[in-house]
């Protein structure tokens, strides 16, 4: 769940106000170049026997057990590193780092954390990240091209090696085959479908991660020159030509949605619950493989199938990063490198484990490795590899996220009044 | 007044809790207020955040909705709680029965909200039962009581969570009540209502006001219950503040701080007034001053 109790907000506010000090900055920078420039075997040797604290969202049992039951013993065995996973939402991690930065705290608690999108932009803008370490990792050097567009830019913000790609996901709809014969392949088709099947579709609120992506992805269908969306960054002028079309499409859809569009699920979990109850016939998600474990454990109906819109499916990469005040920098680098190993990425692809796409570029893998990846059975609810790659569209500037958040409520929900 | 050894000891004993309260809550409040007046930091003192609150018509709608929802659920909880306490206070002397009232207190509010969803939503238990019995022709005909735009779901959740709280707050009043007053009224020919009006109500009133303001303040600033069971729009004020606070580019943080500061101030003033009055009332009653 994205939202937390309000008390944490107040406490965070209190901590935020702590006095600031800038003296520590230059020291840390010096330090980071020194460590980054070391030879890799020295880094690994230095990391041996240490503890690495990894902070990340903890809401998915499969992901947690991939880290606790598969990766943690592996790190212990290969590097004598003790990995401690600590669940925390990324917003809170950023908040904590911000507070520590302002308080001049040069030694924090976080060594590695899961980062991407807007949070990366905030972290980069406020110098919360340690340094340009990604290209120093042997597994990045061997298997990943950091200049590829889908890893070089994170929601339009240049990565500069401040974070290392960890996984890749694409936006998909999931529908119940028992009720839906011919799933819509575009927003236009979806609009026609909801008209024929009133009350059987809805999407999460636009200030929620998945709901926001659902609305944002529509830009790829509406904008005539989709390349502009990525290449030009946030372009308010271009947007003014298309925004009306986005909002009016959603407004037209609204009366045919669940609850006549009077209200929307406040989270993806809420939508999933209704889908599992067969109250609605479709759910969605920013991970083409996410339905598979849920189908297997019986939460989702057996006839669940995935579909990406042919007019474009948003894809994004998420990363692992090291904060400016990580107490164990060499340990953090060693751990991240291990997460990017072929074995770790292949394990992650397995739907019983996590079911998430790899970041290793196939052109940089051996033939055997490629075959091994293809041999992983991703499951019946995951859209085909070809459909996925044909529809793939890189994520656009993070300012579009704010744009959707700012306008959706007024343009779509309140316009019903 | 000279401090006695006993009261010095008391202050020492209270110091850790007091420091925690002032340190965390007080400091949080202070810095929220400070941020609300600096609008991002560069400009120095400014009321621009408050000005933009005042100019936001949707915020006014959201505050109106918060006040109505909190007000209604507080009133209903107080009435039901007071009636239950009156009817059950003799039975509730038994520790075993008292546990029944305590139990709902252990359920966290968000779990309470989920329970309401499981029971009252259109795919919930009651809708299913009503449909099975043929009282409604489709589960979707069940009245919309969760995620609804009128706040029924929020109100239902708070009623079931707060009634036991009201009962527990009022029980001590009944236990301390001198039963001979009842007898006096009755022997003088007063009705049962007169006994309630002249004996119980004056003793209950301070506690009812106190409990009411606690509930109202708690519900007005509530976050997790409306987040779970509320509609997309209208939104309770705490959710609006939260959304502003976590807006991607942090540009609306001053407004979030301003909104929470304003709500806090608006609650603290009546709270002080009522506590002050309740204290005085209680003192007078204890001294035997009779009706106020």
CA-nearest of A391, A393, A95 to B256 is: A95
Determine contact: B254 vs chain A, CB below 8 A: no
Same domain flag for A248 and A130: no
Domain count, chain A: 2
Quote the CA–CA distance of A95 and A101 in Å, as a whole number.
10
Tell me the H-state helices in B177-200. 179-187, 192-195
Query: Percentage helix, strand, coil, to 5, in chain A?
Result: 50, 15, 35
To the nearest whole angstrom, how far is the Cα of B242 from the nearest Cα of chain A? 8
- Predicted confidence at residue A60, as pLDDT, reads 81
Same domain flag for A211 and A88: no
Contact list in B for residue A265 (CB cut-off 8 A) is 147
Same domain flag for A118 and A245: no
Contact list in A for residue B238 (CB cut-off 8 A) is 6
Determine contact: A16 vs chain B, CB below 8 A: yes
Tell me the H-state helices in A254-408. 268-276, 291-296, 329-339, 342-349, 367-375, 385-391, 399-408
What's the topology of domain B33-109+141-286? MetI-like fold (1.10.3720)
To the nearest whole angstrom, how far is the Cα of A264 from the nearest Cα of chain B? 6
- Predicted confidence at residue B27, as pLDDT, reads 86
Q: Which residues of B151-175 are buried (b: 16+ CB within 10 A; e: fewer)?
A: bbbbbbbbbbbbbbbbbbbbbebbe
Element spanning A169, H or E? strand A163-170
Give the three-class secondary structure for A51. strand
Report whether B81 contacts B160 (CB < 8 A). Answer: no
- Predicted confidence at residue B236, as pLDDT, reads 92
Determine contact: A271 vs chain B, CB below 8 A: no
**Residue B120 has which token pair?**
């009252």
Q: Which domain holds residue A97?
A: 28-168+317-382
Nearest by CB to A91, which of B24, B148, B246? B246
User: Which residue is closest to A206 within chain B, CA to CA?
Assistant: B232
pLDDT digits (tens, 9 = 90+) for A215-266: 999 999 999 887 778 778 888 888 999 999 999 999 999 999 999 999 999 8
Query: Percentage helix, strand, coil, to 5, in chain B?
Result: 75, 0, 25
Determine contact: A259 vs chain B, CB below 8 A: yes
Give the three-class secondary structure for B98. helix
Tokens 């009245």 belong to residue? B143
Same domain flag for A124 and A95: yes
Same domain flag for A62 and A202: no
Determine contact: A409 vs chain B, CB below 8 A: yes
Interface test with chain B among A10, A397, A405, A409, by most B beta carbons within 10 Å: A10
Report whether A296 contacts A352 (CB < 8 A). Answer: yes
To the nearest whole angstrom, how far is the Cα of B30 from the nearest Cα of chain A? 8
Give the three-class secondary structure for A174. strand
Contact list in B for residue A398 (CB cut-off 8 A) is 248
Quote the CA–CA distance of A114 and A317 in Å, as a whole number.
11
CATH number at residue A71: 3.40.190.10
- Predicted confidence at residue B98, as pLDDT, reads 81
To the nearest whole angstrom, how far is the Cα of A11 from the nearest Cα of chain B? 6
Contact list in A for residue B35 (CB cut-off 8 A) is 13, 16-17
Same domain flag for A196 and A174: yes
Quote the CA–CA distance of A264 and A284 in Å, as a whole number.
14
Contact list in A for residue B232 (CB cut-off 8 A) is 205, 263-264, 266, 409, 413
Kindly state whether residue A5 falls inside one of the protein's structural domains: no
Q: Give backbone dihedrals phi and psi of B158, rounded to 5 degrees, phi first.
A: -70, -35
Distance set, CA A218 to CA A199, A209, A215, A255, A411 (Å) = 21, 15, 5, 19, 15
Contact list in A for residue B58 (CB cut-off 8 A) is 409-410, 414
Report whether A317 contacts A160 (CB < 8 A). Answer: no
Determine contact: B107 vs chain A, CB below 8 A: no
Dihedral sign, CA of A225, A230, A232, A233? positive
Give the three-class secondary structure for A165. strand
Contact list in B for residue A258 (CB cut-off 8 A) is none
Determine contact: B112 vs chain A, CB below 8 A: no
pLDDT digits (tens, 9 = 90+) for B12-58: 888 888 888 888 888 888 888 888 888 766 667 888 889 888 888 88
Determine contact: A398 vs chain B, CB below 8 A: yes
pLDDT digits (tens, 9 = 90+) for A118-149: 899 999 999 999 999 999 999 999 999 998 87
Give the three-class secondary structure for A205. coil
Quote the CA–CA distance of A348 and A361 in Å, as a whole number.
15
> Are the beta carbons of A3 and B148 separated by less than 8 Å?
no
Same domain flag for A178 and A268: yes
Determine contact: B233 vs chain A, CB below 8 A: yes
Give the three-class secondary structure for A321. strand
Contact list in B for residue A122 (CB cut-off 8 A) is 248-250
> What are the residue boundaries of the structural domains of chain B, listed by start?
33-109+141-286
Determine contact: B4 vs chain A, CB below 8 A: no
- Predicted confidence at residue A181, as pLDDT, reads 93
Q: Give backbone dihedrals phi and psi of A307, rounded to 5 degrees, phi first.
A: -145, 130
Same domain flag for A251 and A374: no
Distance set, CA A76 to CA A50, A79, A338, A382 (Å) = 10, 6, 12, 33
> Are the beta carbons of A13 and B32 separated by less than 8 Å?
yes
Determine contact: A20 vs chain B, CB below 8 A: no
Burial class from Cβ neighbours inside 10 Å (0-12, 13-18, 19+) for residue A226 reads: middle
Quote the CA–CA distance of B71 and B159 in Å, as a whole number.
11
- Predicted confidence at residue A15, as pLDDT, reads 41
CA-nearest of A70, A118, A139 to A347 is: A70
Same domain flag for A175 and A93: no
Same domain flag for A260 and A294: yes
Tell me the H-state helices in B39-142. 48-54, 57-88, 95-106, 109-120, 125-132
**Residue A55 has which token pair?**
């902070």
> Are the beta carbons of B58 and A414 separated by less than 8 Å?
yes
Same domain flag for A261 and A408: yes
Same domain flag for A227 and A333: no
> Are the beta carbons of B31 and A91 separated by less than 8 Å?
no
A87 strand-pairing partners: A56
CA angle A211, A212, A215 (to 5 degrees): 90
Kindly state whether residue A145 falls inside one of the protein's structural domains: yes
Report the share of chain A in percent with pLDDT over 90.
63
Nearest by CB to A10, which of B32, B230, B232? B32
Give the three-class secondary structure for A304. strand
Which conformational region is residue B190 in: left (phi greater than 0), alpha (psi within -120 to 50 degrees), or beta?
beta
Residues listed for chain B:
292
Kindly state whether residue A199 falls inside one of the protein's structural domains: yes
> Are the beta carbons of B35 and A16 separated by less than 8 Å?
yes
> Are the beta carbons of B35 and A17 separated by less than 8 Å?
yes
> What number is the ipTM of this complex?
0.71
CA B194 distance to own-chain centroid: 30
Contact list in B for residue A5 (CB cut-off 8 A) is 223-224
Interface test with chain A among B246, B253, B260, B263, by most A beta carbons within 10 Å: B246
Burial class from Cβ neighbours inside 10 Å (0-12, 13-18, 19+) for residue B110 reads: middle
Distance set, CA B165 to CA A9, A53, A164, B71, B116 (Å) = 26, 41, 51, 16, 18
Count Cβ atoms below 10 Å from residue A280 Cβ, excluding itself. Answer: 25
> Are the beta carbons of B250 and A205 separated by less than 8 Å?
no
Residue ranges, chain A, pLDDT below 50: 1-29
Determine contact: B111 vs chain A, CB below 8 A: no
CA-nearest of B208, B187, B202, B206 to B77 is: B208
- Among residues 71-130 of chain A, which lie with CB inside 8 Å of chain B? 91, 118, 122
CA-nearest of A162, A149, A167, A165 to A122 is: A162
Quote the CA–CA distance of B131 and B123 in Å, as a whole number.
10
- Predicted confidence at residue B3, as pLDDT, reads 63
CA-nearest of A152, A153, A120, A210 to A396 is: A153
Kindly state whether residue A412 falls inside one of the protein's structural domains: yes
Contact list in A for residue B140 (CB cut-off 8 A) is 199
Q: Which residues of A357-394 are buried (b: 16+ CB within 10 A; e: fewer)?
A: bbbbeeeebeeebeeebeebebbbbbbeeebbeebbbb
**Residue A378 has which token pair?**
């991703």
Determine contact: B223 vs chain A, CB below 8 A: yes
> Are the beta carbons of A3 and B27 separated by less than 8 Å?
no
Q: Give backbone dihedrals phi and psi of A222, rounded to 5 degrees, phi first.
A: -85, -40
Report whether A132 contacts A161 (CB < 8 A). Answer: yes
Residue ranges, chain B, pLDDT below 70: 1-3, 40-43, 248-249, 285-292
Quote the CA–CA distance of A116 and A167 in Å, as a whole number.
11
> Are the beta carbons of B233 and A409 separated by less than 8 Å?
yes
Contact list in B for residue A11 (CB cut-off 8 A) is 24, 28
């Amino acid at each position: 769940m994205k939202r937390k109790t309000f008390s944490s907000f107040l406490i965070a506010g209190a901590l935020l106000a702590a006095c600031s000090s800038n003296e520590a900055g230059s020291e840390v920078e010096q330090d980071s170049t020194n460590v980054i420039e070391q030879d890799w075997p020295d880094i690994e040797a230095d990391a041996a026997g240490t503890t690495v604290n990894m902070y990340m969202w903890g809401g998915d049992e499969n992901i947690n057990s991939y880290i606790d039951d598969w990766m943690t013993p592996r790190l212990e065995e290969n590097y004598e590193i003790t990995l401690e996973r600590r669940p925390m939402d990324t917003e809170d991690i950023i908040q904590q780092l911000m507070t520590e930065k302002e308080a001049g705290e040069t030694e924090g608690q976080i060594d590695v954390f899961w980062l991407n999108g807007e949070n990366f932009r905030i972290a980069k803008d406020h110098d919360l990240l340690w340094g340009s370490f990604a290209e120093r990792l042997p597994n990045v050097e061997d298997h990943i091209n950091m200049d590829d567009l889908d890893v070089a830019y994170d929601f339009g913000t240049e990565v500069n090696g401040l974070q290392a790609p960890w996984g890749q996901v694409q936006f998909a709809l999931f529908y119940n085959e028992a009720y839906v014969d011919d799933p819509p392949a575009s927003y236009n088709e979806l609009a026609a479908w909801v008209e024929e099947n009133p009350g059987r579709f809805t999407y999460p609120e636009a200030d929620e991660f998945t709901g926001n992506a659902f609305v944002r992805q529509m830009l790829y269908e509406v904008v005539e020159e989709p390349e502009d969306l990525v290449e030009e960054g946030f372009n308010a002028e271009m947007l003014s030509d298309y925004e009306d079309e986005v909002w009016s499409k959603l407004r037209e859809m609204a009366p045919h949605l669940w609850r006549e569009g009077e209200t929307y699920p406040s989270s993806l979990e809420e939508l999933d619950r209704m889908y599992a109850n067969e109250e609605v016939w479709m759910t969605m998600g920013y991970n083409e493989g996410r339905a598979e474990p849920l189908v297997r454990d019986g939460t989702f109906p057996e006839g669940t199938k995935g579909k990406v819109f042919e007019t474009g499916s948003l894809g994004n990469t998420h990363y692992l990063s090291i904060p400016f005040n990580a107490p164990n920098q060499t340990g953090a680098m060693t751990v991240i490198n291990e997460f990017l190993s072929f074995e770790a990425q292949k394990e992650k692809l397995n739907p019983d484990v996590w079911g998430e796409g790899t970041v290793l570029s196939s052109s940089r893998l051996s033939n055997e490795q490629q075959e091994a990846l293809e041999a992983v059975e991703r499951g019946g609810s995951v859209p085909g590899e070809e459909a996925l790659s044909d529809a793939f569209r890189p994520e656009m500037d993070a300012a579009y996220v704010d744009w959707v958040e700012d306008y959706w409520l007024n343009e779509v929900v309140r316009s019903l009044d | 007044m000279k401090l006695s050894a006993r009261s010095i000891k008391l202050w020492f004993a209270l110091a850790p809790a007091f420091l925690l309260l002032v340190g965390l809550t007080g400091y949080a409040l202070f810095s929220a207020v400070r941020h609300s007046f600096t609008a991002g930091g560069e400009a120095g003192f400014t009321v621009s955040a408050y000005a933009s609150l005042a100019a936001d018509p949707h915020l006014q709608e959201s505050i109106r909705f918060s006040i109505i929802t909190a007000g209604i659920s507080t009133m209903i909880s107080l009435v039901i709680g007071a009636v239950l306490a009156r009817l059950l206070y003799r039975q509730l002397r038994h520790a075993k029965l008292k546990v029944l009232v305590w139990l709902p207190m252990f359920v966290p509010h968000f779990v309470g909200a989920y329970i309401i969803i499981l029971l009252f939503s259109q795919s919930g238990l009651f809708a299913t039962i009503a449909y099975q019995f043929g009282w409604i022709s489709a589960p979707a005909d069940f009245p919309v009581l969760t995620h609804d735009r009128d706040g029924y779901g929020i109100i239902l959740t708070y009623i079931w969570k707060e009634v036991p709280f009201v009962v527990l707050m009022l029980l001590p009043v009944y236990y301390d009540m001198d039963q001979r007053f009842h007898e006096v009224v009755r022997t003088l020919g007063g009705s049962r209502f007169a006994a309630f009006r002249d004996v119980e109500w004056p003793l209950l009133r301070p506690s009812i006001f106190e409990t009411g303001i606690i509930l109202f303040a708690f519900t007005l600033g509530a976050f997790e219950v409306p987040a779970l069971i509320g509609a997309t729009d209208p939104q309770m004020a705490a959710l609006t503040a939260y959304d502003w606070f976590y807006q991607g580019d942090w540009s609306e943080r001053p407004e979030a701080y301003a909104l929470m500061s304003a709500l806090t101030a608006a609650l603290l003033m009546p709270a002080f007034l009522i506590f002050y009055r309740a204290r005085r009332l209680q003192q007078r009653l204890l001294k035997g001053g009779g009706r106020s």
